[in-house]
Amino acid sequence: MPVFVFILLAAGTSCRKDSTTCNGVPNVAVNFALDLNQPTNVNLQIVEGSVIVTGGYDNVVVYRYTTSQFTAFDCCCPYDGATNSKAVVQLNSNKFSMTCPVCGSTFNLSDGSVIKGPSKCSLKPYVASFDGVSTVSVTN
């Protein structure tokens, strides 16, 4: 029986350790639409194009992954953004990733996953829906 208790304690400790590596991004309501024909959204007319718009916890990046698929993520770094206002991921010149200037974590814009840590958590995703014509809706 003592072995069983030890295993539970060890498992609980590792879960707590993993959860403290990222402080999370606070939940906020997100609900907006982008017209791809507007000059401010012209970058979304091409694959691998992106725009950063006001909204979310710390702005939202919308990325055109394919001709018909878009992704949207909060720009707050999941590693330390909720406690450090300067931890806002920024677009890289390669067009498909973002990097946090504070911790150096780099994230893939196609799925929000971590390319390079220290973050172990992906960017916070939002639902991006394309009407097939000219409107991308972003919600949570």
**Measured between alpha carbons, how far is 58 from 72 in angstroms, rounded to an integer?**
13
**Measured between alpha carbons, how far is 119 from 83 in angstroms, rounded to an integer?**
14
- pLDDT tens-digit map of 61-101: 999 999 999 999 999 999 977 788 888 999 999 889 999 99
Share of the chain above pLDDT 70, in %: 84
Q: Considering the entire predicted model, what is its pTM?
A: 0.82
Instruction: Read off the pLDDT of each residue in 4-26 and give the average, rounded to a whole number.
Output: 45
What's the chain's length in residues?
140
**Measured between alpha carbons, how far is 44 from 68 in angstroms, rounded to an integer?**
11
At residue 95, the pLDDT reads: 86
The fold for domain 2-139 equals Rieske Iron-sulfur Protein (2.102.10)
Q: Are 18 and 79 in contact (CB under 8 A)?
A: no
The residue among 91 and 13 whose pLDDT is bigger is 91
pLDDT above 60 (res 19): no
The residue among 15 and 38 whose pLDDT is bigger is 38
Mean pLDDT, all residues of the chain? 85
pLDDT above 50 (res 5): no
The strand pair at 70-74 and 125-130 is best described as antiparallel
In b/e form, how buried is each residue of 43-76, taking b as 16+ CB within 10 angstroms? bbeeeebbbbbebbbbebbbbbbeeeebbbbbbb
pLDDT above 80 (res 119): yes
